């Protein structure tokens, strides 16, 4: 897992938005978080796409699962 501190900060901020009803639909946001738990890793063979092109904090499956579990933990 990379970007651990950044993901923790994003999860706290996202949880704050959900808790204070600052999102259009709370159930849709929780559905998005649950979908992040079921994300699958991409094969490296597909069209020679590298992580640099995809980039970002959520380019790794481990980062997605870490973020989702942090958000759900904050919501409980």
Q: Model-level pTM?
A: 0.79
Rounded Cα–Cα distance for residues 37 and 33 (Å): 7
Range of the domain at 13: 4-75
**Contact between residue 28 and residue 34 where contact means Cβ atoms under 8 Å apart:** no
Give the pLDDT confidence score for residue 54 in this predicted structure: 52
Give the pLDDT confidence score for residue 43 in this predicted structure: 67
The tally of domains found in the chain comes to 1
Give the pLDDT confidence score for residue 71 in this predicted structure: 96
For 4-51, write each residue's pLDDT tens digit: 899 999 999 999 999 999 999 999 999 999 999 988 877 665 554 555
Confidence tier at 67 by pLDDT (50, 70, 90) = very high
Provide the 10 A C-beta neighbour count for residue 18.
17
Residue 75 pLDDT exceeds 80: yes
């Amino acid at each position: 897992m990379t970007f651990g501190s950044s993901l923790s900060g994003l999860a706290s901020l996202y949880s704050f938005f959900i808790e204070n009803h600052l999102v259009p639909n709370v159930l849709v946001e929780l559905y998005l978080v649950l979908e992040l738990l079921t994300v699958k890793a991409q094969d490296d063979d597909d069209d020679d796409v590298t992580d640099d092109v995809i980039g970002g904090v959520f380019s790794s499956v481990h980062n997605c699962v870490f973020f989702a579990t942090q958000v759900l933990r904050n919501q409980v």
